């Protein structure tokens, strides 16, 4: 099956994909083998023979045909290792791209990985920091407290007595990721031409994944994120963000303050009578909304494992390897989008989605507006205290996916952060309503937009752009006029979708010319001849005699070409359709 899959993909291979495939042919074969194995379940699941459905199993002994397609994708990514697990986790934040069912399934991907041996971890730390472990730390615990796909975390204590954690990259992970990214890039380039994959935008998706994963591999970037957020919330008594220790940080080792608390996923185990769950949920949401709508720079992974509950109704945020950044214009659009859903303004919501996203050329805008109006009518009529933002955003993502509207990755990430944030808040307080907290932020945002300082700042930016335009416009117009006068002005036209039409036109002309030429050869009895007879002799068969062999062959071929052309036109559905309507 792996060979069959490789043959099918190779037929669509682009020249640019050959280097990635050639350098990592063994890994490519392994990937295709795993994907083919999990794809076999499709055929078995359609059989009526129950005994056959248990024959194909994954490495854990589970029968593949008894699982959904989404579950098999998750299992295949798990079997392929850290890079593909990360890919699945990132795709779980893009229901607009892969659909809600697959995104929900990929959320359950476990980011656990075997820990490296203690001796190897010590070697990496000593090589990165240039000193023996005993000189660096007063105490270093070899047993990791966590091990994920990129690195593992150890408790330690500095010579100053500070309790810290040391995050160390797995041995060889950079080389493993590089090979897998090469394979993914090659595969994306090969399947880009397949219609069934076009909706997933493979090349664009893999390119975005590469940027995200390479940022996560650089612990120096995470150190800078920690420094930024630690300084940003230093005066906020409701949140603790670990402080990095810069002298002990490199691109492969990250040393930061140890934050001792209870993970949000284990909050039910806390029996502290002073714990106010409603207040804690409110503090957490206020912090995230402040990051999102005030700064446009936010912690992008607020799942319960990355949030800890601290004494005094405080929270701690962990793991700043994945952060989001969104510019001012998109922030304002998302604020308006959320309020449009709550206020039932379907017209404004539709215009916002079409402005933010990239709609396909064949979008049925009337149907999209109608379906979105029904969606807004349902959620806009709900009392605010019963409004579920996660449900509304999930349903909106489903519509965006079905109508193949591409929205920017940072917008999709932000909306998924809001969904995760609502889920995490409800772990603390089931009655918590995120939309009730967002509305005051929206009012603050409107006041911020209308503030004199904001108006002056925007005016200066627009004035600078107009001034630049006034400076370059005369020169550009002069250049164009000079090119026209010299006969060097070129207009480049790009024809889209004309390839099949031109091919059919050429095929029709060839069939017509072949038929006419063959008919002349038949009428002139051009040798060699079939059923040859002498003058005044009766015809040989069915009234035929002296039939030109070349003319007859040409007529048969032209008729076959014409039938092939009619079949192709009929299959496309464009035989008698008026596209002008």
Q: Which residues contact 436 (CB under 8 A, 6 or more apart)?
A: 384, 385
Tokens coding 282: 């409110």
Tokens coding 545: 């005699």
Q: pLDDT (tens digit, 0 to 9) for every residue of the chain, 581 residues total?
A: 444 444 444 444 454 455 555 566 777 788 878 777 776 334 434 434 344 444 445 555 555 556 777 888 888 888 888 888 888 888 887 887 888 888 888 887 766 678 899 999 999 999 999 999 999 999 999 999 988 888 899 999 999 999 999 999 999 898 888 888 888 888 788 777 666 666 667 888 888 888 888 888 899 999 999 999 999 999 999 999 999 999 999 999 999 999 988 888 788 887 778 888 888 888 888 899 889 888 889 998 888 888 899 988 899 999 888 888 888 888 888 888 888 887 778 888 888 888 888 888 888 888 999 998 888 888 877 776 777 888 888 888 888 888 888 888 888 888 888 888 888 888 888 888 887 787 776 677 677 767 777 778 778 888 888 988 888 888 888 888 888 888 777 777 766 666 677 778 888 888 889 889 888 888 888 888 776 665 655 555 555 677 788 888 888 898 988 888 888 777 765 545 454 44
pLDDT (0 to 100) of residue 113: 74
pLDDT (0 to 100) of residue 433: 82
Maximum pairwise Cα distance, the chain? 121
What number of other Cβ atoms are within 10 A of residue 448's Cβ? 14
Q: Which of 182, 301, 319, 336 is catalytic?
A: 301
pLDDT (0 to 100) of residue 497: 62
Q: Is 96 a catalytic residue?
A: no
Tokens coding 456: 């002056």
The half-sphere exposure of 113 on its side-chain side, counting CA atoms within 13 A, is 22
In whole angstroms, how far apart are CA 179 and each of 5, 218, 234?
A: 20, 17, 41
- What distance in Å separates the CA atoms of residue 519 and residue 221, rounded to the nearest whole number? 76
Report how far Cα 434 is from the mean position of its chain's Cα atoms.
26
- Structural domain boundaries in the chain: 2-109+176-211, 271-450, 452-488, 499-572
pLDDT (0 to 100) of residue 498: 66
The half-sphere exposure of 131 on its side-chain side, counting CA atoms within 13 A, is 9
Q: Which residues contact 435 (CB under 8 A, 6 or more apart)?
A: 338, 342, 384, 387, 389
What number of other Cβ atoms are within 10 A of residue 461's Cβ? 10
pTM of this prediction? Answer: 0.69
Q: What is the 3-state secondary structure (H, E, C) of 519-549?
A: HHHHHCCCCCEECCCCCCCCCCECCECCEEH
Q: Find out whether 85 and 111 touch, Cβ atoms under 8 Å.
A: yes
pLDDT (0 to 100) of residue 20: 55
Q: Find out whether 293 and 437 touch, Cβ atoms under 8 Å.
A: no
């Amino acid at each position: 099956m792996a060979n069959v899959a490789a043959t099918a993909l190779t037929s669509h291979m682009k020249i640019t994909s050959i280097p990635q495939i050639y350098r990592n042919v063994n890994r490519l074969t392994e990937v295709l083998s795993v994907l083919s194995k999990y794809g076999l379940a499709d055929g078995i699941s359609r059989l009526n023979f129950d005994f056959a459905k248990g024959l194909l199993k994954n490495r854990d002994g589970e029968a593949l045909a008894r699982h959904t397609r989404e579950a098999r994708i998750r299992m295949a990514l798990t079997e392929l290792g850290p890079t593909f697990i990360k890919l699945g986790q990132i795709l779980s934040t893009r229901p607009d791209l892969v659909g809600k069912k697959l995104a929900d399934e990929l959320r359950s991907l476990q980011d656990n990985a075997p820990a490296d041996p203690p001796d190897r971890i010590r070697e990496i730390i000593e090589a990165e920091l240039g000193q023996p472990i005993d000189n660096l730390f007063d105490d270093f615990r070899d047993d990791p407290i966590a091990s994920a796909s990129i690195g593992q975390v150890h408790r330690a204590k500095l010579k100053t007595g500070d309790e810290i954690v040391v995050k160390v990259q797995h041995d060889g992970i950079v080389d493993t990721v590089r090979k897998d990214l090469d394979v993914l890039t090659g595969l994306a380039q090969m399947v880009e031409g397949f219609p069934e994959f076009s909706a997933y935008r493979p090349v664009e998706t893999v390119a975005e994944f590469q940027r995200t994963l390479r940022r996560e591999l650089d612990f120096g970037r995470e150190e800078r994120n920690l420094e930024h957020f630690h300084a940003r919330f230093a005066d906020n008594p409701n949140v603790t963000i670990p402080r990095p220790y810069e002298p002990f940080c490199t691109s492969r080792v990250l040393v930061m303050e140890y934050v001792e608390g209870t993970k949000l996923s284990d909050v039910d185990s806390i029996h502290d009578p002073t714990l106010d769950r409603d207040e804690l949920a409110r503090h957490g949401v206020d912090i995230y909304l402040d990051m999102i709508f005030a700064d446009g720079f936010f912690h992008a992974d607020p799942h319960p494992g990355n949030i800890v509950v601290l004494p005094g109704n405080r929270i701690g945020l962990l793991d700043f390897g994945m952060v989001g950044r969104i510019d001012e214009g998109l922030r304002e659009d998302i604020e308006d989008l959320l309020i449009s859903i709550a206020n039932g303004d379907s017209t404004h919501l539709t215009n916002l989605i079409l402005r933010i996203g990239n709609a396909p050329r064949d979008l049925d805008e009337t149907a999209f507006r109608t379906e979105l109006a029904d969606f807004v009518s349902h959620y806009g009529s709900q009392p605010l205290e019963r409004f579920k933002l996660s449900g509304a955003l999930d349903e909106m993502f489903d519509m965006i996916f079905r109508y193949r509207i591409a929205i920017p990755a940072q917008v999709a990430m932000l909306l998924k952060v809001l969904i995760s944030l609502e889920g995490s808040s409800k772990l603390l307080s089931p009655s918590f309503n995120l939309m009730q907290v967002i509305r005051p932020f929206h009012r603050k945002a409107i006041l911020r937009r209308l503030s004199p300082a904001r108006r002056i700042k925007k005016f200066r930016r627009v004035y600078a752009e107009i001034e630049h335009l006034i400076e370059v416009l005369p020169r550009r117009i002069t250049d164009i006029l000079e090119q026209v006068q010299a006969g060097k002005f070129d207009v480049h036209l790009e024809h889209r979708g004309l390839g099949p039409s031109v091919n059919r036109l050429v095929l029709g002309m060839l069939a017509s010319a072949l038929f006419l030429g063959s008919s002349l050869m038949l009428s002139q009895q051009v040798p060699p001849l079939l059923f040859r007879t002498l003058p005044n002799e009766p015809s040989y068969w069915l009234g035929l005699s002296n039939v030109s062999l070349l003319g007859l062959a040409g007529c048969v071929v032209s008729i076959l070409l014409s039938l092939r052309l009619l079949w192709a036109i009929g299959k496309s559905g464009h035989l008698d359709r008026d596209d002008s309507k």
